[in-house]
Amino acid sequence: MSPGPPPRAAAPARHLELFVEMLAAERGAAANTIEAYVRDLTDAESFLGRRRTSLAQARRADLTAYLAGLEAAGLSARTAARRLSALRQYYRFLVSDGLRADDPSAAIESPQTGKALPKLLSEAEIDTLLACARAKQGPRGARLLALVELLYATGMRVSELVGLPVAAVARDPQLLVVLGKGNKERMIPISDPARAALRGYLAQRAFFLAGDARSLWLFPGRFRQHLTRHRLAQMLKDLAGEAGIAPSRISPHVLRHAFASHLLNRGADLRSLQRMLGHADIATTQIYTHILEERLRQLVHHHPLAAGDGSLTTFGGGKSVSLPHGSENRQNDG
């Protein structure tokens, strides 16, 4: 009787642990980034297990079947592309560390996602949102106004904002030191309206300490932690509804997009914007130029002198550059 095939080795979960350790130690990946990698890779592992294989042993056909399954389940091409990216990073790590001889993801083409432009609020809508926040009374109103002002005036990521230590604003600074992705620090100017809102909140911050007077966080939350990203996002959606703006159109990241787009629209240069946003690659910042290009195309299309095909013979004239939100004290481009 001939022997059967050798038993399949158990999937080495240690490989994923080593990958996570590399992300944290070598790349300085943020906790949210690591969580996203683990979530995507765990989803792939679950699918592969049903095919009687594993992440460590998967072949190209297995990964192709996984991506086809995502499409069949109605997931977007952008989600599939992100999960394929996570798989590629994982297999490159295995190969570079000698844990696997080949990369089964190397020859797989990324799903075509197109170029998605960020959601954007107009300057008038930002004004309405801030006016609604200013109308709120008490400590919660002061906190909400400070959060919205800081998001719009600095373009911080939500994790950067909620993770600010109270020491960062101890002396009413004109520049805020932010710890961003990869534990890289950057300095961002704070507008006068944002500083005023921050002072108003600090005068009432004790309301949120809940017995933890030694909290290190600028925006304390429950259980001695800082305010969560999810709670802030919900607060913004509630505020949007009160301001007559569809809640689906707003999030902390939408305010970051508004900061960048409004500054660029008023003459800020891409390099300055890149530094303030904390983008490692200026190509990431250039997405905002596409927003402006699309807005110009729409304006030209509706211009009374536009030709039947939507083109315009001439489009020019001088312009004066001012700052967003109707205040000369707002964020500058330096």
Q: Choosing from 100, 256, 325, 330, which is the catalytic residue?
A: 256
Give the DSSP H/E element, type plus range, for residue 65. helix 60-72
- E-strand ranges in 24-182 read 175-179
50 is a catalytic site residue: no
Inter-residue contact 144 to 237 (CB < 8 Å): no
91 is a catalytic site residue: no
Q: How many CA atoms lie within 13 A of 205 on its CB side?
A: 25
157 is a catalytic site residue: yes
Inter-residue contact 276 to 171 (CB < 8 Å): no
Pairing of the two strands 185-189 and 175-179: antiparallel
Q: Choosing from 82, 288, 325, 330, which is the catalytic residue?
A: 288
Identify the sign of the CA torsion 62, 68, 71, 73. Answer: negative
**In the structure encoding, which two tokens stand for residue 190, read together?**
């704070």
290 is a catalytic site residue: no
Q: Choosing from 157, 226, 257, 266, which is the catalytic residue?
A: 157
Q: Choosing from 143, 279, 325, 330, which is the catalytic residue?
A: 279
**In the structure encoding, which two tokens stand for residue 180, read together?**
């961003």
181 is a catalytic site residue: yes
Q: How far apart are CA 198 and CA 191, in angstroms?
A: 11
Residue 214: phi and psi, rounded to 5, are -95, 10
For residue 327, which amino acid is it?
A: S
Q: Choosing from 51, 181, 231, 295, which is the catalytic residue?
A: 181
Query: Which DSSP letter does residue 157 get?
Result: -
Coil, helix or strand at residue 136: coil
Q: Choosing from 60, 88, 134, 253, which is the catalytic residue?
A: 253
15 is a catalytic site residue: no
- Active-site residues, by number, are 157, 181, 253, 256, 279, 288
